[in-house]
Structure 1
Amino acid sequence: MGLFSFLTKKGDKIQDFKSRGAVVIDVRSKEEFRGGHIKNAKNMPLPGLSSKVAEIKKMGKPVVFCCASGMRSGQATAMMKSQGIECMNGGGWMSLQRHWS
């Protein structure tokens, strides 16, 4: 197992989610999102995310959460997994964008 093998595994999981029509949800603030984001990503800031569970479930797709560094998207992932939503932490949006484009 190589030093960067964890990146390949994450990249494989991202590609799996993408191939199944996953939605990218960026949990940064609206101001941060306006400064740059992944094309077609939805902006749902972390502070109000708990009120969006029904909306996310209604999408009927897996979700990849992202933010600036992976901390907030990690919190979002844990929150939504506990609600039965298939999701993953995509980490920082700039890093995720390399896999998503």
Structure 2
Amino acid sequence: MIKKLMAAAFLILGMLFSTGVFATERAEQAWEWIDSGAVVIDVRTPQEFNGGHLDNAVNIPVADLSRADLSFVDKDEQIVVYCRSGNRSGNAKQILLTKGYKHVHNGGGLQMMLSVNQLSSSE
């Protein structure tokens, strides 16, 4: 019984650690794209957007994305989408890929992106 509990604990810790590492890498990749001129789309609600967002981000809530006018974005441009946690931006990425956009990156959550950017700018 104790061995099973310890194995479960290690599994959970491993999942938590790998998720954090993945989120950091995802945010770092997003900043590389943004620094290269990617279009940035915040897929949170307008209320969330008004509470703070990345510079130059366009607010298109994920619920509106499939019917939004995206004529300002070329299908070959890089696009970074983000939200609060990475879930809605994951859905947004799939919507954009379905619409024919070729280079879409899920940047994950806003706070992770901000913390990664602060770390890299202080180095």
CA contact (8 A) 1:66 1:93 kept: yes
Corresponding residue for residue 63 of structure 2: 47
Amino acid at match of 1:17: W
Q: TM-score, normalised on structure 1?
A: 0.78
Under a length normalisation based on structure 2, what TM-score does the superposition of the two structures give? 0.66
Structure 1 residue aligned with 2:121: none
Identity of aligned residues (%): 34
2:6 aligned partner: none
Whether 1:14 aligns to 2:30 is: yes
Q: Compute the displacement of 1:79 (Å).
A: 0.9
For 1:34-73, what aligned pairs fall within 5 Å after superposition?
34-52=50-68, 54-55=70-71, 57-58=73-74, 61-73=77-89
Specify the code of the residue in structure 1 equivalent to 2:104.
Answer: C
User: Rg bigger for which structure?
Assistant: 2
Over the residues paired in the alignment, what is the CA RMSD in angstroms? 2.6
Letter in 2 for 1:43: N
What one-letter code is carried by the residue in structure 2 that aligns with 1:57? V
User: Which residue number in structure 2 is paired with residue 87 of structure 1?
Assistant: 104
Q: Which runs of 5+ in 1 are unaligned?
A: none
Q: Which amino acid aligns with 1:35?
A: G
